[in-house]
Structure 1
Amino acid sequence: MTTVNDLLNLLVLEQISETEFNGTSETIGNPIVFGGQVLAQAIHAASKTITNGRILHSMHSYFLEPGDLELPITYSVSVIRDGGSFSVRRVTAHQKETTIFILSASFHKKEEGYNHQIEMPTNLKQPEALLSWTDILQQYGEFLPKSLKSFFEIERPIEFKPVLLGNPLEKKDLPPVSNVWFKLKGNVSGLDMATKKQILTYISDYNILVSALNPHASKAHWGNTQTASLDHSMWYFRDFDFDDWLLYSMESPNASSARGFARGHIFTREGKLIASVAQEGLMRPKNKK
């Protein structure tokens, strides 16, 4: 995938019945299905059963088994409730006889109410002053660890620019935070709100566990640590567009018992908070049983 059109094609599901849909997979450099893809496709499936104009405001999910890139994923949607203000859907994703993922999503009618938000981090470098993953590969590719270089070589429909560029050869512990600017590649005009939220959800599974691994960077890295998303929750607050860079600001309050917990907030460049994310992931040292 190289542009937003490729990502949009990935989100298109084959409708089997009123509540069942099939999806295909694209690798992001891992041998298993990317969690963000399953999240976005599941939300897409759930939204197909919403006929009252309500908009997604939150979702909560668990990754149960790794997905096979070669097999279609079937999303089965259960209509849990259509109340006076909220509609709730449960989505189960399976490949053959194996359930790989479950999600609950809530949709809310448009209402007016009180309004406040936290402030975006200040004194961060703007994206124009930073190197993208593509720039890092071009300038430092020969010095990168093989696994990291291979990951950066995969073409993506999103450009990422980390605010702090850690040196993987330095073996130095870092603060449990991570800030990454991101922007879609290609024409992003004309996207409806439901589609924008699906794309944002896809992107939200990138980078978030970096903040949990940072405090252990002197001894832990992606090559010697088994990582996987265990659960993922997301809340959607305000409308937005993809026509400028967005900031994903992440922190990790805790790591213990071979799990790391991270949370993040996504802002527009102007500082509008559009979504928040929470995730716990597996962080298992490979040299320990």
Structure 2
Amino acid sequence: MEAVTKLLEILDLETLETNLFRGASPHEARQRVFGGQVVAQALVAAQRTVPADRFCHSLHSYFLRGGDPAAPIIYDVDRIRDGGSFTTRRVVAIQHGQPIFLLSASFQIVEEGFDHQIDMPDVPGPDDVPHGEALNERILRHAPAAVKAYWQRPRPIEFRPVLLDHYLTEDRLEPIQRIWVRCGREIGDDPNLNAAVLAYLSDMTLLDTSLFAHGLSVFDARVQAASLDHSMWFHRRVRVSDWLLYAQDSPSSSGGRGLTRGSFHTREGALVASVAQEGLIRPRSR
């Protein structure tokens, strides 16, 4: 509950001037700001400048520099276009006088149209996979110290992984991941807030999937890992307080980079959002 409250606080940006906003980071011992936080805050900044009848349908972003968690982040919004159906915004996140992140987002009025989607993966539901003490027992008893520390950290998002092998082995595995996720408490139906929280959590666990084929993870000290870019498409209205299946796969890694794709499905099977990210997955030089 407290972690969710902190998340909602950091997403409630301070307005400094027209098109200019300031965001804070949670007081945690991190080397750099969590990428999902910057994506979500930049999206909120863009939302604050868009008419109330338009909602984000896509965003595309680049991580330019690591964010300093001890300093506020300034979000400068450029009102690129206001059209009859679509609105476009560009947001630059700035720290210490330098851009650290760049986001472009497109917003659309609510429209009816053609409707289809691919099927949801056939997996056990969130109540049928290990969770709570059973999940902690299976992961924490055998997992490396870095994995234990990650799972014991308080967070605003609840995870229930369908697959657990990648946390417990160094075998080369198929680069797929299935994990049920939801916000740690009810946050209501506001579509802008739900989109921002989904953007926040979409950066969790994603890059890790590109390392499964190599018997590694982002927790491995032999790997230098960082998000390079992040794109999202919002297909249908979403409630992050309800369980969502985050289905991920990595079609390729090469040149020190890994590409990972993700999709969010409701328990009923509706596809609500898609994600794509390329990240740095470079072997550390010794």
Q: TM-score range by the shorter chain?
A: over 0.9
Does the CA-based 8 Å contact 2:262-2:274 persist in structure 1? yes
1:195-240 per-residue CA deviation (whole Å, 9 max, x = no partner) reads: 1000000010011112211100169863211111000000001112
Contact 1:28 1:154 in 2 (8 A): no
Match of 2:201 in 1: 203
Q: Is the 8 A contact 1:230 1:280 kept in 2?
A: yes
Identify which range, 267-276 or 220-229, moves more after superposition.
220-229
Deviates more, 1:268-277 or 1:150-159: 150-159
In 2 relative to 1, CA 29–145 (structure 1 residues): closer, same or farther, beyond 3 Å?
Answer: farther
Shift of the alpha carbon at 1:6? 2.4
Indicate if the aligned counterparts of 2:86 and 2:107 stay in contact, CA closer than 8 A: yes
Structure 1 segment 1-289 matched on structure 2, within 5 A: 2-26=2-26, 30-51=30-51, 53-122=53-122, 124-132=123-131, 135-138=134-137, 140-166=139-165, 168-188=167-187, 190-217=188-215, 222-287=220-285
Structure 1 residues 167 and 283 mapped into 2: Cα distance closer, same or farther (>3 Å)? Answer: closer
For the 8 Å contact 1:235–1:276, the answer to whether it is kept is yes
Whether contact under 8 Å (2:244, 2:265) holds in the other structure is yes
CA distance in 2, matches of 1:53, 1:100: 30
CA RMSD of aligned residues (A): 2.0
- State the alpha-carbon separation in 1 of the partners of residues 110 and 171 from structure 2: 48
TM-score (norm 2): 0.94
One-letter amino acid matched to 2:9: N
CA distance in 1, matches of 2:11, 2:143: 32
* Equivalent-residue separation in structure 1 for 2:112 and 2:147 (angstroms): 46
Task: Give SS of 1:149's match.
Answer: helix
1:277, distance to aligned residue in structure 2 (A): 0.3
Summarize deviations over 1:234-253 as a string: whole Å, max 9, x none: 00011122343110001111
Q: Is the 8 A contact 2:211 2:217 kept in 1?
A: no
Q: Return the alpha-carbon distance in structure 1 between the equivalents of residues 125 and 43 of structure 2.
A: 31
Partners of 1:200 and 1:21 lie apart in 2 by: 21
1:107 is paired with a residue whose SS is strand
Q: In structure 1, what is the Cα distance between the partners aligned to 2:65 and 2:260?
A: 21
Displacement of 1:166 in angstroms is 1.4
Asked if structure 2 preserves the Cα contact closer than 8 Å seen for 1:3 and 1:184, the reply is no
Q: Distance in 1 between matches of 2:52 and 2:138?
A: 51
Deviations 1:133-191 (A, max 9, x none): 87544554353212112212210011101111015453211101111101211233x33
| CA shift for structure 1 position 29 | 6.6
Alpha-carbon distance between aligned partners in 2 of 1:170 and 1:191, rounded to the nearest angstrom: 40
The 3 A distance-change label for structure 1 pair 40 and 263 is same
CA distance in structure 1 between the partners assigned to 2:179 and 2:167 by the alignment: 17
Percentage of identical aligned residues: 44
Q: Secondary structure at the match of 1:250?
A: strand
Structure 2 residue matching 1:16: 3-state secondary structure: strand
SS at match of 2:104: strand
Give how far 1:112 is off. Answer: 1.1
Over residues 10-41 of structure 1, what are the superposed CA-to-partner deviations in whole Å (9 max), with x where a residue is unaligned?
20111100100000112677421000000000
| One-letter amino acid of the structure 2 residue matched with residue 68 of structure 1 | D
